[in-house]
Amino acid sequence: MSKVLHSAPKIASNEGVLDALTAALGDMVVASKEEHGEIVLTIARDRIEDALRDLRDNHEYQQLMEIAGADYPDREERFEVVYMLLSLTKNHRIMAKVSAAESTPVPTVTTLWPNAGWLEREVFDMYGVIFDGNTDLRRILTDYGFEGHPFRKDFPLTGYVELRYSEEEKRVVYEPVELPQDLRQFDFMSPWEGAEYILPGDEKAEGEGDAKA
């Protein structure tokens, strides 16, 4: 019996792909570059649905792998929403991204990929980005009643409230964050402080050793 061998799809090169996609998308593209071996297309926010549809239907980027957020508080539009696409036929990935402010909604792409619903909910939950047209835009990782968006750069590391189980009330209760004083003592020493060698960043331990000597 003869065996049928299926070869893996040839990995597409970035050479020429960036220029071809930029030309094909036209004025939908605000900027384009290759960075760290990845093609990155910055798309006009109000055209993101059209651009991703074109990439899916006409350029074989069939799968939406992820939607991620990023926060740059010093920018006028502080948020970036990044869409990561995969072409199964080309074995190639690209990233498209848009910028947004707290008051500027991003068009949903649930019209293109059903899995975008949960991914947009995560970006909304973590960053507070609003996705216009997402009919189920609610928190997905944090608890009901959670205040704020924990991946924003200005969100406090301790959070705003803490929860515990109350034996008296027989339920979980929320309380203002209180840090015991012993948790405020930081000496930034490495757990390997007692080693005979100094790890990078442990110059403090080295300096103290010299002082004691």
Q: Of the residues 87, 105, 132, which one is the last residue of a structural domain? A: 132
* Joined tokens for residue 91: 């074995």
* Mean pLDDT, rounded, for 46-54: 98
User: Does some domain include residue 167?
Assistant: no
Burial of 30 from C-beta contacts in 10 A (0-12 / 13-18 / 19+): middle
* Joined tokens for residue 184: 């405020």
Cα–Cα dist 2/96, whole Å: 44
User: Does some domain include residue 140?
Assistant: no
Listed residue (105, 100, 30, 93) closest to 64, CA to CA: 93
Backbone angles phi, psi at 24, to 5 degrees: -70, -40
CB 137 within 8 A of CB 109: no
**pTM, to two decimals:** 0.75
User: Does some domain include residue 21?
Assistant: yes
* Mean pLDDT, rounded, for 1-8: 54
User: Does some domain include residue 42?
Assistant: yes
Cα–Cα dist 32/25, whole Å: 11
| Band of residue 12 on the pLDDT scale cut at 50, 70, 90 | low
Cα separation values, 165 from 49, 146, 161, 175, Å: 45, 17, 14, 11
Same domain, 124 and 203: no
- The per-residue pLDDT for range 145-179, each reduced to its tens digit, is 788 999 999 988 777 777 788 898 888 887 887 76
Listed residue (126, 131, 122) closest to 152, CA to CA: 126
User: Does some domain include residue 36?
Assistant: yes
User: Does some domain include residue 11?
Assistant: no
User: Does some domain include residue 152?
Assistant: no
Same domain, 190 and 127: no
By percentage, how much of the chain surpasses pLDDT 70?
A: 77
User: Does some domain include residue 72?
Assistant: yes
What CATH number did the domain enclosing 70 receive? 3.30.460.80
Q: Residue 56: which domain range?
A: 17-132
Q: Of the residues 112, 132, 152, which one is the last residue of a structural domain? A: 132
- The per-residue pLDDT for range 182-204, each reduced to its tens digit, is 555 555 565 555 555 555 665 65
Same domain, 25 and 104: yes
Number of domain units in the chain: 2
